[in-house]
Each structure stands twice: as structure tokens, then as C-alpha cells.
Amino acid sequence: MKDIQGQTTQPKKVLIVDDHALVSEGIAQLIGVKSGLTVCGMAANAHEGFELVGKTEPDLVIVDLSLPGKSGLELIKDIHASYPQVAILTLSMHEESMYAERALRAGARGYLMKSEGGQRLLEGIQRVLGGGVFVSDTVATRVLERFSGRRAKPTLNPVESLSDREFEVFQLIGRGLGTRQIADQLHLSIKTVEAYRGSLKEKLKLASGPELVHYAISWQQSQAIAGD
């Protein structure tokens, strides 16, 4: 394609990381009809996605948060640390109030829920590639309140108070994983995971391990229903 001076310009390269093939293919088709964009690769997990960033040198990576194994949030942190010039747009089924700020802190430049549709996705891609930030007005207001030093409205959901790592452990507990499985998946010691379990019980005001498991599973199920 050519720019306004008539010079040939290369299309912006987009890498898609999502474990659902139909979603990735749908996004690829949407991008394919948009002049100035091209899909340079698709990955189904974080490891594959990180490798493709190095191989294909994309301008933008679209990352789903719910990936098998290593989470999308950790992938965002890895890409941002190793390839800070690469823009990242998070596309997720999860409610933005719980995940958007975490994704932005990790290094993403935008957050979009999958339910918002193709046109909004294209708007997000163009905004982020242009150097802007793409989030809803609600998220933008919350971020500005924190940045300006104004106290954000207190949340009624204690899960929002968890650190990123605590939140990740909490999610894995909700998926039915035991301490050793969580340690293996996150490359942590069993002792460290047990410490996280202790801090989770304290922050969520739960008296025992079984209560934590029940709470985490119930929360995970509620998120799955919200994303349907």
C-alpha cells in the first residue's frame, strides 16, 4: 500500500495468541479485509506466542488472558520486558473490572472484551498501533483516579485486592489444581504456593483451606457463566 506521499508502506503485522482456533481464525479474517494490516502468525499458548514474537517481529500482539499453562497476563509481562516496542492488546471474555487494570499494569496498551464485536476490535487495533490506549470509559476513569492520587471508590469484591501472583494462584485453585500442580505450573516451590494460600485466606477472610477451595471454585464458575 502507499501513504499520502505516494510512497509504498509495509502493512502492520499482527500476531494472535488465543487457544481457540475458531477465535484466532475469525480475528485473522477480520484483519485480512482491513487495508494496512496483516496477520504474521497465530499461537495457541504463551510459550508458542513468545517464540513467535521473536521470529515474526510483530507490530502488535493480541493476547487472550485465558491460555493453557502460563497465563496471558504473564505472557504480556514477558513480551513487554523483552520487546517493549511491541504493542499489546488484550482480548478476553473476562469482565474488565477484574482484569483490565492488571493487563495494563503488565504492559498491555488496551483491553477489549470478546463480546464487543469486530468493529470495536479494529478500533482498538488502530488506536494501540497509533500509540494510544484503548479501554472503556469506566476503566479510563479508574486509572486516572489512581494516577491523580484521588481515592478510587472502594470495591466490594475482595478478589480485586489480590496481587497478580495471588490472583493467578487463586484462579488455579478455582480450576481444581492442588498445591503441587500449582507449583509445577507456575515454577514455584510448594512452600511458596502454601504461603500464597495463607495470604489468600487472610485477604479473603477465610478460615480454612477447604473454604478457600470452595470460594475459588465458586468464583471461577461465576466467571465462566459471565463469559458465556
Residue 96 in any domain: the answer is yes
Query: Could you tell me the three cell numbers for 11?
Result: 502493512
Task: Please tell me the predicted confidence (pLDDT) of residue 114.
Answer: 85
Domain count, the chain: 2
Instruction: Indicate if 192 and 113 belong to the same structural domain.
Output: no
Same domain, 164 and 122: no
Q: Is 121 in the same domain as 181?
A: no
Q: Per the domain annotation, does 152 fall within a domain?
A: no
> 161 versus 204: which is more confidently predicted?
204
User: What global pTM score does this model have?
Assistant: 0.76
Q: Across all residues in the chain, what is the average pLDDT?
A: 86
Q: Residue 167's domain is classified under what CATH number? A: 1.10.10.10
* Range of the structural domain that residue 31 is part of: 12-147
Please report, as a single letter, which amino acid is at residue 56: T
**Is 196 found in the same domain as 135?**
no
Residue 7 is assigned to a structural domain of this protein: no
Q: Do 58 and 93 have their domain in common?
A: yes
Cβ neighbours of residue 116 closer than 8 Å, sequence gap 6 or more: none
Whether 101 and 169 map to the same domain: the answer is: no
Q: What is the pLDDT of residue 56?
A: 96
- Cβ contacts of 205-209, under 8 Å, gap ≥ 24: 205/158
How does pLDDT run across 114-171, given as a tens digit for each residue?
A: 888 889 999 999 999 999 999 887 777 766 666 665 555 555 578 888 888 898 899 8
At 8, give phi and psi (nearest 5°).
Answer: -75, 130
Q: Which amino acid is at 127?
A: R
Res. 192: pLDDT tops 80: yes
37-43 sheet: strands from edge to edge: 37-43, 12-17, 60-63, 87-92, 110-113
Question: Which tops the pLDDT comparison, 227 or 61?
Answer: 61
Please check the confidence at residue 78 and state whether its pLDDT lies above 70: yes
Top pLDDT among 193 and 139 is at 193
